[in-house]
Structure 1
Amino acid sequence: MTGDPAKRAGTAETAGTAGTAAVTSGLGPRVASVLRALEERSDKERAEMEALRAAGALRERAAEFMLDVGPASGLFLNTLVRSVRARTVLEVGGSVGYSTVWLAEAARATGGRVYSIEPDDGKRAEQRANLRAAGLEDVVELTACEAPALVPALPAPLDLVLLDHWKELYVRDFEACWPSVAPGGLVVADNILTPKKNAVVIAGYRRHLAGLSDARSQVVPVGAGLEVTVKCEDQLIDERPVPTAPSVSPVTPTPRDGGPHR
């Protein structure tokens, strides 16, 4: 959940509304149409949402807004699902389905399935309608269940998890998911760089990641900032023999056409 204007208008977001056609050019027409419609809605919501944020009243009315990741982050998430050939994807914070569509389009290609958590009944109904319009409803399961209760019931392992909900729940839900994440699997958290009001909570989340021995993590400056954390198996890596470099005889260069060596 973002909604921060920097993710579309700032330097971190390289593919805003003007670049949507390029971002969605490889998608089917139904998927592209749904994404464009949602991006147009997000643009219209932005001014009111920022006024509410400035007044400290956004949280009370959050159910009225999309709070989407934006097109560049959506494409990045789609690419990650494909790169790890994810079979089980968990989205924590589906809203009306913008990021869900991006995840599901890739999961269909990998033979995977998306499990999306959205506690608000109204948003979940919109999410279902948008997935149906995109032709992706059959690869997504929607639920209001919270991550700690849901994860034990999901097919293991988890290949990719997206955290995009209330930031104070990031550590709790990361911990609920991490034991089930596959080696080489990913946990991606949104809103790492913006909005700045989340800086203290996000710093706590990043400190938590830094204390893990079986994780490598990096901030990717796409959209509102994504923290990408990969599950490592350090003990297996440490026990693996180090490859020996092949023995290569030194070669003395021969000058060409009588010219000097370089």
Structure 2
Amino acid sequence: MPTALQDAAVSAVLDRSFAAAEKDAITLEAFRSAVGPDRTIGDYTPAELADLAADVYMPVSREVGTLLYLLARANRPALTVEFGTSYGISAIHLAAAVRDNGAGRVITTELSATKAKAAAGNLAEAGLAAFVEIRAGDAFETLRELPGPIDLLLLDGWNQLYLPLLRLLEPQLASDALIVADDITLFPAETRDYLDYVRTPGNGYTGVEIPLDDGLDLTIRH
């Protein structure tokens, strides 16, 4: 049987979104120029970065999106949490898995109100809005209250926040929860403390780096 990713409405939204992201190179370069050659994203507050990147897709690749779908189908998470909605491309893949699994929900959070609104529109057009709750605002506030243990966590926001957000959510991680961290080679300096933490024996994690797109880290919580 066809999967939700093969649904005409889902495919149409993803095709349009990936095409728009491919044309996003000029906007992405403008963002990098705004950050400046002598500074890193770690030199800015999340709100400042959200303003700088308000028009930038920064999406997962098609391969990463498919991997997220496969992980969610195999893990069958009752609750998936995503940090960094952007325009909703990864949320669409996760929601497609929820639909095909027949159970579960996705909670995703986005600091940019503009992007949160656009993501909501894309999910509705794809026919997947019922599976996703978008929480607009600061993730350290929007994710404090969750309806249950986290079975799958996607970290796809600003990399310097991966570790503090993981530490915030640790008490809510289910046993054997999967954690996917995106863009670990794109912003290596900002991701180093996160990788050091999840690779340190005794912290309760086992993981591996996956050389897809801008680098993924796949980790399981013991």
Q: In structure 2, what is the Cα distance between the partners aligned to 1:55 and 1:139?
A: 36
Q: In structure 1, what is the Cα distance between the partners aligned to 2:148 and 2:30?
A: 42
Cα-Cα RMSD: 1.9
**Which structure has the larger Rg over C-alpha atoms?**
1
Q: In structure 2, what is the Cα distance between the partners aligned to 1:88 and 1:32?
A: 24
Q: In structure 2, what is the Cα distance between the partners aligned to 1:106 and 1:87?
A: 11
C-alpha displacement of 1:158: 0.6
Partner SS state of residue 106, structure 2: strand
Look up the match of 1:134: 126
The partner residue of 1:68 within 59, 62, 69 is 59
Once the two structures are overlaid, the 10-residue window that deviates more, 149-158 or 123-132, is 149-158
Task: State yes or no: 1:227 paired with 2:206.
Answer: no
Q: In structure 1, what is the Cα distance between the partners aligned to 2:13 and 2:148?
A: 30
Task: State yes or no: 1:46 paired with 2:35.
Answer: no
Pick closer, same or farther for the CA change 1:107–1:56 going to 2, 3 Å. Answer: same
Look up the match of 1:84: 75
The partner residue of 1:215 within 205, 208, 213 is 205
Task: State yes or no: 1:146 paired with 2:138.
Answer: yes
Q: In structure 2, what is the Cα distance between the partners aligned to 1:145 and 1:136?
A: 21
Is the 2:5–2:93 Cα contact (8 Å) retained in structure 1? Answer: no
C-alpha displacement of 1:156: 1.7
C-alpha displacement of 1:155: 2.0
Look up the match of 2:44: none
Is the 1:157–1:182 Cα contact (8 Å) retained in structure 2? Answer: yes
Q: In structure 2, what is the Cα distance between the partners aligned to 1:25 and 1:155?
A: 25
- The TM-score, its normalising length taken from structure 2, stands at 0.86
C-alpha displacement of 1:154: 1.2
The partner residue of 2:95 within 104, 108, 119 is 104
Partner SS state of residue 74, structure 1: helix
Is the 1:42–1:67 Cα contact (8 Å) retained in structure 2? Answer: yes
Unpaired segments ≥5 residues, structure 1: 1-23, 233-262
Alignment of 1:185-196 (within 5 A): 185-194=177-186
Q: In structure 2, what is the Cα distance between the partners aligned to 1:31 and 1:144?
A: 23
Unpaired segments ≥5 residues, structure 2: 42-48
C-alpha displacement of 1:150: 3.7
Task: State yes or no: 1:56 paired with 2:35.
Answer: yes
Look up the match of 1:258: none
Q: In structure 2, what is the Cα distance between the partners aligned to 1:140 and 1:82?
A: 16
AA of the residue aligned to 1:85: R
Once the two structures are overlaid, the 10-residue window that deviates more, 174-183 or 83-92, is 174-183
- Amino-acid identity (%): 31
C-alpha displacement of 1:202: 1.4
Partner SS state of residue 107, structure 2: strand
Look up the match of 1:9: none
Partner SS state of residue 66, structure 1: coil
Pick closer, same or farther for the CA change 1:136–1:53 going to 2, 3 Å. Answer: same
AA of the residue aligned to 1:87: A
C-alpha displacement of 1:148: 3.5
C-alpha displacement of 1:50: 2.3
The partner residue of 1:175 within 135, 147, 167 is 167
Partner SS state of residue 6, structure 2: coil
Pick closer, same or farther for the CA change 1:51–1:122 going to 2, 3 Å. Answer: closer
Aligned length: 206
- Structure 1 or 2: more strand by fraction: 2
Pick closer, same or farther for the CA change 1:182–1:41 going to 2, 3 Å. Answer: same
- Deviation digits for residues 178-226 of structure 1, max 9, x if unmatched? 22111111111100122xxx22221121111122431101111112111
